[in-house]
Structure 1
Amino acid sequence: MEKVRCAVLGATGVVGQNFLRLLVDHPYFELAAICASDMRIGQSLKSAKEQIDGGIPKAFADIIFDPIDVGVLVDKKIKIAFSALPADVAKNVEKEAAKQGIKIFSNAGAYRMDKDVPILIPEINHAHLDIVKQQDTPGYIVTNANCTTTGLTMALLPILPFGIRKMVVASYQAISGAGYPGLPALDIFGNVIPYIQNEEPKLRRETTKICGTFQNGAIVPADWEVYAHCIRVQTVIGHLISVHIELDSQPTREEVKQAIVNYTSPPEVAGLPTAPEQTILFSEEPDRPQPRYDVLLGAPERARGMAIFIGRLEVERNIIRFVTLSNNLVRGAAGGSVLNAELAYRKGLL
Structure 2
Amino acid sequence: MTDTIEVRALHKRYGRNIALHELDLRVHPGTVFGLIGPNGAGKTTTLRTLVDVIRPSSGTVRVLGEEPRHGGAALRRRIGYVPGELHLEGRSSGHRLLAFYAEVSGSAGSSASVLRTARDLADRLGVDLDRPVRTLSKGNKQKVGLIQAFMHRPELLILDEPTSGLDPLVQREFLAMVREARDAGQTVLLSSHVLSEIQQTADEVAVLSAGRIVAEGDVASLRLGSVRRVRVRIGGSDAAAARAAFEKLPGVEGLDVTDHGEGVQLSTTIEGAIDPFVKALAQHEVQDLTVEEPDLEESVLRLYGDRSRPADASAPPHADDAPRERRRRAGASATGGGIDEQTGAPRTRRSRRGRRH
TM-score w.r.t. the length of structure 1 is 0.28
Q: Compare relative contact order (CA 8 Å, sep 6+) and give the higher one, 1 or 2.
A: 2
Q: Which protein is richer in helix relative to its size?
A: 2
Over alpha carbons, which structure has the higher Rg?
Answer: 2
TM-score w.r.t. the length of structure 2 is 0.28
